[in-house]
Amino acid sequence: MATRLSAAGKAELHASGVERQPIFARIWRGSTRPADLEEYTRYLYEFGVLKIERMQGCLGVQMFRRLTEDAGEFTVTSFWPTLDSIRVWSGDDLTRTRHLEKDPDFLLELPERVTLVEVCSNDWVIQA
């Protein structure tokens, strides 16, 4: 596969580094009370992010947070080489949310669904 350079001068690769072999991102969002931001950050990392990160097939996990006047907003994105590999975490329903034990104590609402997308490009190489 020939490597092209992007307008920024970086190597332009398909997300998986392989032509016609996409990878997938599973994106979860949730919100807490502002006062719970730090405690939920630790809880979500320890019992959510680390668990996903150790799952067979997981290519990586990112956790984002943002504090507003009304809420602590969280986004967790996990990356997977195939839809079948996501089923390790999700079961047959790929967009069903898998809540953590203490989510009802922290989250303002319990989201029922996650977003599943194909990663078309990224600017770092994810090893599949």
pLDDT band of 96, cuts 50, 70, 90: very high
Q: How many CB atoms lie within 10 A of CB 21?
A: 12
Task: Residue 28: name the closest of 91, 81, 122, 94 by CA.
Answer: 94
- Asked if residue 62 belongs to a domain, the reply is yes
- Asked if residue 30 belongs to a domain, the reply is yes
What pTM was estimated for this model as a whole? Answer: 0.82
6 burial class (0-12, 13-18, 19+ CB within 10 angstroms)?
A: exposed
Contact 116, 94 (CB under 8 A): yes
Token pair listed for 96: 């069903």
Q: Could you report the per-residue pLDDT of 64-94, keeping only the tens digit for each?
A: 999 999 999 999 999 999 999 999 878 899 9
- As a whole number, the mean pLDDT across the chain is 87
- Distance of alpha carbon 23 from alpha carbon 119, whole angstroms: 6
pLDDT of residue 128: 54
Write out the residue range of the structural domain in which residue 111 sits: 22-119
- Asked if residue 54 belongs to a domain, the reply is yes
**The total number of structural domains that make up the chain:** 1
- Asked if residue 104 belongs to a domain, the reply is yes
